[in-house]
Structure 1
Amino acid sequence: MAAILGGGLGGLSTGYYLLKNNITNNSNLKLFLVEATDYCGGWIKSIKTRDYIFEQGPRTIRPRGITGLNTLNMLQDLGLSEHISYIKPDHPAARNRMIYVNNTLYSLPSSLKGVFQKNEPFSKPLIYAALNDLKQPQKELKDDSIYNFVERRFGKEVADYAISPMICGICAGDAKEISVKFLMKTLFEYEQSYGGVVKGVMKSMFKPKNEETLELGELAKRAQEEKWNIYTIKGGLDTFPLVMKQYLKDNDVDIHLNTKVEEIEFIDSSMVQLKKSNGETISASHVYSSVPSHILAKLISKQHPQLSQLLSETPFVTVGIVNLYFATEKPLIEPAFGFLVPPIENSPILGVVFDSCCIPDQNGTVLTVMLGGRWFNEKFGSDVTKDRLLEIAVKEIKSILKIEDKVTAYNVGILDKCIPQYIIGHYDRVDRIRDYIQNKNLPISLVGSSYDGVGINDVIYSAKTQVEKDVTK
């Protein structure tokens, strides 16, 4: 029996790919999924009413790259093609993305033409950032923060007003701490290999590309042809994990909810025991851990303290989510995806998503305010109440967007330790973790957001690649 630890997107995807690789048919292997809560889907949760949908976690998915196309293949296979709502590049949610600086909302350039124009708060056209890269000397480093890298190559304004808020939006983190390899691994390698990004781009144009290939289904092909920018699922994004869970159940995967594991003990290279909080033990030949690395660290600490230490070194941040619904027919916002707030503004909020612009079937105005992240305790303390977060969010919204209407409905969530932070050295540490597991011949595989990417596409692709690697051993 193979055990999957955690019923979030990583665990569900692992079950899906184990089934797709016929692991149960080829070896008579039984699959068993253990989830500590009463819900499968992790941070993907949707509150649905007749008038609005509140997404309490992720809300949209990008279809780009091999990981994005892979997710579309999965959605098609699960029968969700007809439930997808997508946005093309000419949609306001694709074109209009803003930052809030000096009490003013500014639109970021969304076209090549915009790069050659002066756009506040930048003091010069962004094309000058490329010229700056050409003038800067090479700096040999093994890793660096994404902030330092961008400031060095493209200037402080780009680091402050473009990259820092982007990192807030992606992982609620501090660009001065996040590894450049998190988003700009290729550009960093250009600097290290060729002395600069522009030089690297030019030289790479004449080299053959060794990109991974993926057989595309009709849905993925359509997304490419129509140039989808982002998409979501009608009726709430949590439809995705709910359908995945049902797929696993239909294929005889035992799913045990409200089942907390307190310790993992490795007996030998083909036997592992999961000790539950009620004293019972689950024996398996292999375990796939999709739980956050800090949780796994506690489960294996007695037997493997060195591995536990490595796992616990990845920091996680807490994010406050405040969903707001205004039941008014008049538009309260300009059509856009939303706005982010650079950390140098010292604001209590990270940004705001205009859900009524990018999620279908919304009546009135729906907004989601993100708070805290890397600065959660610094801004709000460890015992902040949901009422206090609501108060702060509404105050900021009314001030920034000049909204005078009363909030009709709301939801407040505090997502404790919800996003891992890929700080400088993260990828080397993950290599050391996997080397330890391999050298000790431990029957465990690691999937999920703690290791190979924090986005929905990353988590799903992580499960796919890990399962395929294990199957071919």
Structure 2
Amino acid sequence: MVTVAILGGGISGLSAAYYLGKLARSKTISKVILLEASSRLGGCIDTVRLDDGTIFERGPRSIRGQGAQGYNTLQLAEELGLSDHVLPIDRSHQATKNRFIYVNRELCRLPSGPGSLLMRQPPFSKSLVRLGWREPFVASHKVEDETIDSFFRRRFGDEIAKYAIDPLCRGIYSGSSQQLSMKACFPNLLEWEQQYHSVIKGALLAPKKKAPDAQGSRLVERYKSEHWSMWSLDTGLQKLPETLAMKLSQSDQVDICLDTPCTGLEFSDTTGKVKVKMSDKHEEVDYVFSALPARQFAVLLPSGHHQLAALLRHNPSVSVGVVNLQYEGNVLSTQGFGHLVPSCEPSNVLGVLYESCIFPVHNRPKGNNTRITCMMGGAWFKEMFGEADDVNTQEFGEIAAESIREQLHITKKPFRVIAGVVKNCIPQYQVGHTQSVQDMATYITQQSLPLSLIGASYDGVSINDCIHNTRLEVEKVLPSIEAMAH
């Protein structure tokens, strides 16, 4: 019989335990031990449910449905019995169509359809079609990797890099387009330039990927037929890891250990087993999945694996200040998903989410009220606020309220402010990241380590990426894990 340890109880660690149970042959894996250092599961998925019925998200608040990754998450939700709890947003919804950037002290709506690409919209000096028409004629560069900012300035010019791509990177990664890797973050676009000498030509000429099979999932069929853009759950996204944990707790094979950090690993050359150390005991296991942030996992490795530890330490992550604010009445004059603030603007805010517009059912049921969330810091956290451990969260709340007053012209004071810092929550895929991840995989293979690296540190930061990549990794290594039983 085989014993597996999973380090980290975020969505990747929980998914690993789930797929091991679902895909493994009966009784091949006798025990799965999931170690979580904190007192809760779900990692960065963190829903705040208040007594008056208000729901806030401290982490991600929605999931996209397209592609193999999106279909996989919908299928998982269906398997967990969550279909009746899904909150869909279709493509005609204001939160889908209306997204803004804040430039020169005003909100500027970003183009959202073919027609809007032909119109000039501030802060752009021309329509996006006119700004981008030269791209097919720009000479391509044979580069292994480069920053996102460098790529878009080369191919599309300064305005698109400054007002479209820069805020996009702040919204997805809370990071700087001048540091993030093009190959890791937008691999298709870089590949199109290499193969077709143009992003636009590549988009038109590259073979279209076959639409993934819905695999009989009614929820996926609903997503397609009802034209969803994104979705959440009725009591917040934390319901997903909660339901996963409940499902796992019903299995005699799975042992979930909260408040139990792993303090170190030892790989045995003679037995092939791994000693997983905890503060007051240890477990000998046959295989380890690490769903911990890369730098956090690096310190657990024994000294003989300094090469792998060095690669892991090259994976930085950033902290994000999150401030949830609630106002009496309907105080939002602008409806949409929210707005992002380009790094060229003098603001401590990365972006503002119009929560009441996105998922109004999460509002307090009694009386009109408005929910707004501010995101702050990210790659600029230290220069703006100092060390994450030393932040005064009350000051965070005051900065957020003042930013909303200035940017959304809401003069009313919020009656509720929940401020905090989510530390080291978003990995930063810097130039060379893809090669670094490949080098990690090569090292693990060459050293025959019974180890898999999963989670947001490696190949995608979204919920969809984490779940789908974990499933692929389980499918890949499961035959060798099962062979250990013989």
TM-score by length of 1: 0.96
Residue 81 of structure 1: CA displacement? 0.5
User: Which one of the candidate residues 50, 57, 75 is aligned to 1:73?
Assistant: 75
User: Which one of the candidate residues 397, 402, 406 is aligned to 2:409?
Assistant: 402
Deviations along 1:418-459, whole A, 9 cap, x unmatched? 111011110110000011001000011111001110000000
Deviations along 1:143-183, whole A, 9 cap, x unmatched? 11111111111111111111111111111000111111234
Q: Secondary structure at the match of 1:397?
A: helix
Q: How has the CA–CA distance of structure 1 residues 122 and 301 changed in structure 2, closer, same or farther, with 3 Å as cutoff?
A: farther
User: Which one of the candidate residues 468, 472, 476 is aligned to 1:469?
Assistant: 476
Q: Tell me if structure 2 keeps the 8 A contact 1:2–1:286.
A: yes
Deviations along 1:205-238, whole A, 9 cap, x unmatched? xx47467656251101110121111111111111
Q: Tell me if structure 1 keeps the 8 A contact 2:266–2:302.
A: no
Task: Pick which of 384-393 and 100-109 moved more.
Answer: 384-393
Residues in 2 aligned to 1:199 and 1:260: alpha-carbon distance in whole angstroms: 50
Residues in 1 aligned to 2:359 and 2:304: alpha-carbon distance in whole angstroms: 47
Q: Tell me if structure 1 keeps the 8 A contact 2:331–2:410.
A: no
After TM superposition, list the pairs within 5 Å mapping 1:47-66 onto structure 2.
47-49=48-50, 50-66=52-68
Residue 367 of structure 1: CA displacement? 0.5
User: Which one of the candidate residues 357, 375, 378 is aligned to 1:370?
Assistant: 375
Aligned to 1:34: 35
Residue 168 in structure 1 maps to residue 175 in structure 2: no
After TM superposition, list the pairs within 5 Å mapping 1:29-428 onto structure 2.
29-49=30-50, 50-204=52-206, 207=207, 209=209, 215-252=215-252, 253-268=254-269, 270-278=272-280, 280-328=281-329, 330-361=330-361, 362-363=363-364, 364-382=369-387, 383-428=390-435
Residues in 1 aligned to 2:311 and 2:478: alpha-carbon distance in whole angstroms: 26
Residues in 1 aligned to 2:457 and 2:245: alpha-carbon distance in whole angstroms: 21
Q: How has the CA–CA distance of structure 1 residues 238 and 209 changed in structure 2, closer, same or farther, with 3 Å as cutoff?
A: closer
Q: Secondary structure at the match of 1:449?
A: coil
Residue 239 of structure 1: CA displacement? 0.8
Q: Secondary structure at the match of 1:7?
A: coil
Residues in 2 aligned to 1:145 and 1:138: alpha-carbon distance in whole angstroms: 15
Q: How has the CA–CA distance of structure 1 residues 266 and 301 changed in structure 2, closer, same or farther, with 3 Å as cutoff?
A: closer
Q: Tell me if structure 2 keeps the 8 A contact 1:265–1:303.
A: no
Residue 331 of structure 1: CA displacement? 3.6
| Consecutive unaligned residues in structure 1, runs of 5 or more | none
Residues in 2 aligned to 1:201 and 1:208: alpha-carbon distance in whole angstroms: 9
Residues in 2 aligned to 1:214 and 1:296: alpha-carbon distance in whole angstroms: 35
Residue 190 of structure 1: CA displacement? 1.3
Q: Tell me if structure 2 keeps the 8 A contact 1:349–1:369.
A: yes
Q: How has the CA–CA distance of structure 1 residues 210 and 228 changed in structure 2, closer, same or farther, with 3 Å as cutoff?
A: closer
Residue 70 of structure 1: CA displacement? 0.5
Q: Secondary structure at the match of 1:120?
A: coil
Residues in 2 aligned to 1:56 and 1:41: alpha-carbon distance in whole angstroms: 12
Q: Secondary structure at the match of 2:275?
A: strand
Aligned to 2:484: none
User: Which one of the candidate residues 433, 444, 447 is aligned to 1:437?
Assistant: 444
Residues in 2 aligned to 1:216 and 1:158: alpha-carbon distance in whole angstroms: 41
Deviations along 1:74-98, whole A, 9 cap, x unmatched? 0000000100101111111011100
Instruction: State, as a whole percentage, how many aligned pairs show the same letter.
Output: 39
Residue 416 of structure 1: CA displacement? 1.1
The letter of the residue matching 1:138 is S
Q: Tell me if structure 2 keeps the 8 A contact 1:69–1:216.
A: no
The letter of the residue matching 1:260 is P
Residues in 1 aligned to 2:197 and 2:87: alpha-carbon distance in whole angstroms: 43
The letter of the residue matching 2:268 is I
Task: Pick which of 337-346 and 264-273 moved more.
Answer: 264-273
Q: Tell me if structure 1 keeps the 8 A contact 2:4–2:29.
A: no
Q: RMSD of the alignment, in Å?
A: 1.5
Q: Tell me if structure 2 keeps the 8 A contact 1:35–1:259.
A: yes
Task: Pick which of 358-367 and 13-22 moved more.
Answer: 358-367
Q: Secondary structure at the match of 2:264?
A: strand
TM-score by length of 2: 0.94
Residues in 2 aligned to 1:402 and 1:307: alpha-carbon distance in whole angstroms: 51
Q: How has the CA–CA distance of structure 1 residues 28 and 297 changed in structure 2, closer, same or farther, with 3 Å as cutoff?
A: closer
The letter of the residue matching 2:225 is E
Residue 384 of structure 1: CA displacement? 2.3
